[in-house]
Amino acid sequence: MMTILFMKRTLLASIFAFALFLVSPQPLQASTQQAVFAGGCFWCLEHDLEGLRGVKSVESGYTGGDLLNPSYSNHKGHQEAVSVTFDPEKISYKKLLRVFWRNIDPLDGDGQFCDRGDSYRPVIFTLDESQRNDAIISSELAALELDKSIESLKVDFQDLNKFWIAEDYHQDFATRNNIKYKFYRYSCGRDDRLEELWGERARSAQQWPN
């Protein structure tokens, strides 16, 4: 009799534990991370990065300056930038850096392509020491690939302060305004310059050459 009672209690406990497992929230498979880059027009950089496997979202915005609540008409001191939310189990920060470098002209610190001025200068905004170290190493590898001195690269490294999301009409601009975007990108000479600089590796995530 005692054996049967013990078995019933054990069975009920097992059923209860299994039911609790079913209703309890399960941990996410992987936490997401953030990367922030400025590389000229945020329409272009957003479009260049959002199709990568492992990238969850890319938002256009402003960062780098002190002005509160910047807007497209007034973001003095800020750069046009993108905030990338990514799954580090599917794409690494180092890979994002390779794609970033090969989508900009790192020799131009006064703007990017046809867009001139401080708002468009290239910057890697880092969230912690690990990102900063990876960014610095990536600049050395980019210089080697371009066969340029590290001093000739004009990409800055800054700690991220606050990222201000741009107006809604700037988000997914390339998708929502495809013809206008393609005309702008072509007339700006962005892809021609990228291919001149990076050759067949332009816009790619390929490993740095040995």
User: Cβ distance 146 to 140 under 8 Å?
Assistant: no
User: Cβ distance 2 to 49 under 8 Å?
Assistant: no
Q: Can you give the pLDDT at residue 30?
A: 53
Write down the domain spans for the chain: 33-201
| pLDDT, tens digit (0-9, with 9 covering 90-100), for 36-84 | 999 999 999 999 999 999 999 999 999 999 999 999 999 999 999 999 9
Q: Can you give the pLDDT at residue 6?
A: 41
What are the beta bridge partners of residue 123? 38, 156
Q: Can you give the pLDDT at residue 21?
A: 37
**37 vs 157: CA distance, rounded Å:** 10
DSSP 77-90: T-EEEEEEEE-TTT
Residues with a known catalytic role: 41
Burial of 186 (0-12, 13-18, 19+ CB in 10 A): exposed
Give this prediction's pTM.
0.84
Residues of the chain with pLDDT under 70: 1-30
Q: Can you give the pLDDT at residue 137?
A: 98
Class of the 33-201 domain? Answer: alpha beta
Residue 15: both structure tokens together? 């059923």
